Structure 1
Amino acid sequence: MILLQNSILRLEYNPATDILQVRYPDLQRFHMSEIRHSLHVMVETIRNYDVRKLLLDARTTAVEIEEDENRQLTMELVAMLAKTRLVKIARIQPYDPEREARAQHNIEEARKAGLLSYEVATFSTPDDALAWLKA
């Protein structure tokens, strides 16, 4: 069932598997306040539905902001998600290997900072990601 759909995010929840699927938004400088707001709405939805498993699809996400701003946004999101009851996050990696390397660096920084209270795994296909979440 679709819980939210706007120009930035689409939240699709399957109560049978307790998996929320989200296409990670394009990070465009002139939309950052809307993106931050939408990510807050996503976290509130996770909290309200007591979601335990999240699938973040970053395959086609465009990143048009500076690396420092991207890292800061990632840390904010990780910290907000840590305040939910999430157990697992499966990421579908971007097609661009350079963007994926930066994303992995940000995830490692969050790990070092002790912000991850849930498992995070990265996959190249949605089927692999869903299989891991369902296991």
Structure 2
Amino acid sequence: MIIFKNGFIRLDYDPASDILSFAMPSVNDVVMPEMRRCLVTVVEHVRNYDVKRVLLDARETAIGVGQEIYVPVIAEFYGSLATTRLQKVARLVTPGSQRERIIHGIFEGIHFPMEVRPFAEAAPAVEWLQAKP
């Protein structure tokens, strides 16, 4: 079911599997403030629905801003997710992309209480999310 939708992001939640899924919005200088608000909205819905699993699709996400702008926003997003009861985040990614190198750099220096894993395809990601810890 769709629990939130605007021009930038759509949050789908499946209560049976407890998976919240969304596509990470593309970002440039113009939409950066809206992207930041969207990420806050994701965290609010994770908290309000007590979500334990997130499927984040970043395969089509384009980054049109410098790392000095993007990295703090993404680090803040994952830091905020860490304050919820979230247990697993499956990231659908394009392996080897510049975006993934940036994200890997963010993850290297931070320990999160939830598991975060990259996947190239949705089926294995959903299978991992649904597996018992």
TM-score, length-normalised on structure 1?
A: 0.91
Partner of 2:71: 71
User: In 2, Cα distance between the equivalents of 1:66 and 1:106?
Assistant: 14
Partner of 1:87: 87
Partner of 2:121: 125
Q: Does 1:25 align with 2:21?
A: no
User: In 1, Cα distance between the equivalents of 2:104 and 2:85?
Assistant: 23
User: In 2, Cα distance between the equivalents of 1:9 and 1:57?
Assistant: 11
Report matched runs for 1:1-135 at 5 Å: 1-94=1-94, 97-111=97-111, 116-135=112-131
Tell me the CA shift for residue 29 of structure 1. 1.2
**Percent pairwise identity:** 37
- Assess if the C-alpha contact under 8 Å between 1:55 and 1:130 holds in 2: yes
TM-score, length-normalised on structure 2?
A: 0.93
- The one-letter code of the counterpart of 1:22 is F
- Assess if the C-alpha contact under 8 Å between 1:26 and 1:63 holds in 2: yes
Unaligned runs of 5+ residues in structure 1 are: none
User: In 2, Cα distance between the equivalents of 1:94 and 1:27?
Assistant: 16
User: In 2, Cα distance between the equivalents of 1:105 and 1:14?
Assistant: 31
Unaligned runs of 5+ residues in structure 2 are: none
Higher helix proportion, which one? 1
User: In 1, Cα distance between the equivalents of 2:32 and 2:24?
Assistant: 13
Tell me the CA shift for residue 97 of structure 1. 2.3
